[in-house]
Structure 1
Amino acid sequence: MKKFAYLLLSCAALTTASSCSKEKEVAPTGPKEYQVEYKVTSNASVADYLSYDNESGGSTTLSNVALPATYSFKRTMKLGDHVGILASLPSGSPATSEITASISLDGKEVKKETGRGSSAQAVPVWVIGQ
């Protein structure tokens, strides 16, 4: 009888634990249009170099960009496609320099990175379905 009660309690505990678990977000299987937004901030006033995946899936490259900067567009992507940005400060910047770049999809921040130091750079990349 004790074994049966123990088994019953164990099953009840497992059922409760599994029903409380957080549901996993399901990635889209087909193409979906996303609102993509990149944000770049820094304690410096200018980024030496910016390169990001644009609305056509190609790259846009800029230099001597005033900060903070934001780039926003719509892009249709499918599972496995990616978006990314590289933002860097000029070489020889003060050791206390930092630059942060973030990626948001449909208003939700999905990736953020901060680089620090005299050659600071941030390179966040997000793969759809990640």
Structure 2
Amino acid sequence: MKRLTYLLLSCATLATATSCSKDEATPTGPTEYQVEYRISSPSAPVSDYISYDNESGGTTTLNNVPLPATYRFKRTMKRGDHLSLLASLDGGTAASEITAAILLDGREVKKETGRGTDAQAVPVYVIGQ
């Protein structure tokens, strides 16, 4: 249920960010980007669940992933397209922590850290944000 809540919040954030975007330096036409996702945790050796937007714009879902983990691919996107990543820990402690970052062309554009027994990090980035 927590994952559904976070995904719905991510979609709401995405809709708001897309409508508010004013960065004129970002190309509006399709541009190829080197996308990189990084997931790490100082308190857990494994993430129970990772889900991310992949190179085709679809979703890749993985379970029981050893950490740290990195995923890289090229994807052509335009202003308003988005990238999202969800990484979680299950059954941790209050001190559990997981961090997820989105990089475009080697530059970190979004990073989030989740803490607690069911820690989740859910960064979302909209091109032109």
Q: TM-score, normalised by structure 2?
A: 0.80
1:102 maps to a residue whose letter is A
Equivalent runs, 1:1-130 vs 2, <5 Å: 26-42=25-41, 43-90=43-90, 92-130=91-129
More RCO (CA 8 Å, sep 6+):
2
Please tell me whether Structure 1 or Structure 2 has the larger radius of gyration of its CA atoms: 1
- Identity value in percent: 73
Equivalent pairs, count: 106
What SS is found at the alignment partner of 1:86?
strand
1:117 to partner: Cα distance:
0.4
Give distance in 2, aligned partners of 1:65 and 1:25. 38
CA RMSD of aligned residues (A): 1.0
Which letter maps to 2:95?
T
Q: Which runs of 5+ in 1 are unaligned?
A: 1-23
2:47 aligned counterpart, secondary structure: strand
Determine the C-alpha separation between the residues in 2 that align with 1:55 and 1:27.
20
Question: Could you tell me the TM-score, scaled by structure 1's length?
Answer: 0.80
Unaligned runs of 5+ in 2: 1-22
What SS does the aligned partner of 1:51 have? Answer: strand
Q: Secondary structure at the match of 2:113?
A: strand
Compute the displacement of 1:25 (Å): 6.6
CA distance in 1, matches of 2:113, 2:50: 14
